[in-house]
Amino acid sequence: MTATQWQSELMTQGAHIEDGAVQHFGDPLLERKITALGNVLCDLSHLGLLELKGADTVSFLQGQVTNDVKLLRGDNAHYSGYCSPKGRLLALFLAFAHQDHVHLQLPQDLLAPIMKRLTMYVMRSKVVITDTSDSIIKIGVNGPDATRLMQAIFGQVPSQDYALVGLEQATLLKLPTAQQQARYEIFTSSEHAQTIWNSLKTDCQPVGKACWDSLEIQAGIPEIVANTQEQFVPQMVNLDCLNAINFKKGCYTGQEIVARTHYLGTVKRRTFLASIVTDTLPMAGDKLLDANNSEVGQLVRVAKGLDNNIDVLAELRIEAQQTGTVYWQGQLLRFNALPYSLGTTGT
One-character DSSP codes across 274-285: EEEE-SS---TT
Question: What are the distances in angstroms from CA 214 to CA 159, 209, 211, 321?
Answer: 22, 9, 5, 21
Q: Are strands 136-143 and 40-43 parallel, antiparallel or unpaired?
A: antiparallel
- Predicted confidence at residue 26, as pLDDT, reads 96
- Predicted confidence at residue 1, as pLDDT, reads 67
Instruction: Spell out the residues 6+ positions from residue 114 whose beta carbon is closer than 8 angstroms to its own.
Output: 50, 82, 90, 91, 106
Radius of gyration of the chain (CA): 20
C-alpha to C-alpha distance for 39 and 184, rounded to whole angstroms: 12
Tens of pLDDT, residues 214-226 = 999 999 999 999 9
Phi, psi of 200 (to 5 degrees): -70, -30
Burial class of residue 82, CB neighbours in 10 A (0-12, 13-18, 19+): buried
- Predicted confidence at residue 327, as pLDDT, reads 98
- The stretches of 76-128 forming alpha helices (DSSP H) are 108-122
- Predicted confidence at residue 37, as pLDDT, reads 92
Residues in the chain: 347
C-alpha to C-alpha distance for 206 and 15, rounded to whole angstroms: 9
- Predicted confidence at residue 81, as pLDDT, reads 98
- Predicted confidence at residue 347, as pLDDT, reads 29
Provide the whole-model pTM: 0.95
- Predicted confidence at residue 271, as pLDDT, reads 98
- Predicted confidence at residue 245, as pLDDT, reads 97
Phi, psi of 5 (to 5 degrees): -65, -35
Residues 9, 194 contacting (CB under 8 angstroms): yes
Task: Report the SS3 class of residue 37.
Answer: helix
Residue 42's H or E segment, with its range, is strand 40-43
- Predicted confidence at residue 261, as pLDDT, reads 85
Residue 83's H or E segment, with its range, is strand 77-83
C-alpha to C-alpha distance for 59 and 80, rounded to whole angstroms: 15
HSE, CB side, 13 Å, CA atoms: give it for residue 107. Answer: 20
- Predicted confidence at residue 344, as pLDDT, reads 45
- Predicted confidence at residue 3, as pLDDT, reads 75
Q: Are strands 182-189 and 170-175 parallel, antiparallel or unpaired?
A: antiparallel
C-alpha to C-alpha distance for 306 and 265, rounded to whole angstroms: 38
Residue 154's H or E segment, with its range, is helix 146-154
Q: Identify the segments of the chain with pLDDT beneath 50.
A: 344-347
